[in-house]
Structure 1
Amino acid sequence: MSPRVFRDETATTWYDIGFPVSAYIFPHETLLQDVRFDDTYIHLHMTDGRRLSVPLQWIPTLYHAAPSEREKYEIGPNRKMVIWDPDKCAINDELRIDDYLIARPRPSNGRS
């Protein structure tokens, strides 16, 4: 294993890295396994062991819905979405996990 070099303007410092890159796990694909709710968050459990908690306030349709209606979701066939079917509940929405895993630029508000 080769040491990493971190440089600043005055000196070079060498630090040993304790593990090779092959010892780390980098998920290739993120898929939904389970969904849970509490009073504040929707908790998305992924097949790779990660947990993603999204504030319900970020999703107005869920935030304003009754807890019993939130529970009437389906996990999409590609396991990348949580879907509320308006024919089965009072919510009409889809939550895509990639929207909460990948940073996106803020939308322009028309101000310069």
Structure 2
Amino acid sequence: MNSLAIVEREAAASNVEVTEDELIVSLFDGRRISVPITWYPRLFHGTVEERSTYELMGRGTGIHWPLLDEDISVSGLLKGNPSFESERSLQNWLDDKAAKNSL
């Protein structure tokens, strides 16, 4: 008896680029995902340095921006999920960021 085992692989990022307009994620399987940067307000409000300082987590299944305290999953990108951060949380973060920059 023959059986076909289907192995589902989790999509994983190999490279990340953040432009003024887009978050672009290259995957190991050759696909590229691009979404509007406005989907992720912390990236939108980040500096070039903050946007370019990222770490791939979980063998590329997640992306972490330590200077922005932002985490995005590749599966969330593929599903088309924007940030679910509340307006209040974002405003608190923006206020903290402005206070740090004024020192």
More strand by share: 1
The residue correspondences of 1:1-112 to structure 2 (distance < 5 A) are 28-85=9-66, 89=67, 91-102=68-79
TM-score, normalization: structure 2? 0.65
Matched positions, count: 75
TM-score, normalization: structure 1? 0.60
The Cα offsets for residues 31-76 of structure 1, whole Å up to 9 and x where unpaired, read as 1110112210010000000000011100000001111111111011
Residue aligned with 1:78, SS: helix
Q: Distance in 2 between matches of 1:29 and 1:77?
A: 10
More helix by share: 2
Deviant stretches of 4+, over 4 Å: none
Residue aligned with 1:69, SS: helix
1:29: how far off? 3.1
Q: Distance in 2 between matches of 1:32 and 1:92?
A: 19
Extract unaligned runs of 5+ from structure 2: 1-7, 85-103
AA of the residue aligned to 1:93? E
Judged with a 3 Å threshold, the aligned counterparts in structure 2 of structure 1 residues 103 and 64 are, in CA distance, closer, same or farther, namely closer
Extract unaligned runs of 5+ from structure 1: 1-26, 108-112
Q: Distance in 1 between matches of 2:24 and 2:59?
A: 18
Judged with a 3 Å threshold, the aligned counterparts in structure 2 of structure 1 residues 29 and 77 are, in CA distance, closer, same or farther, namely closer
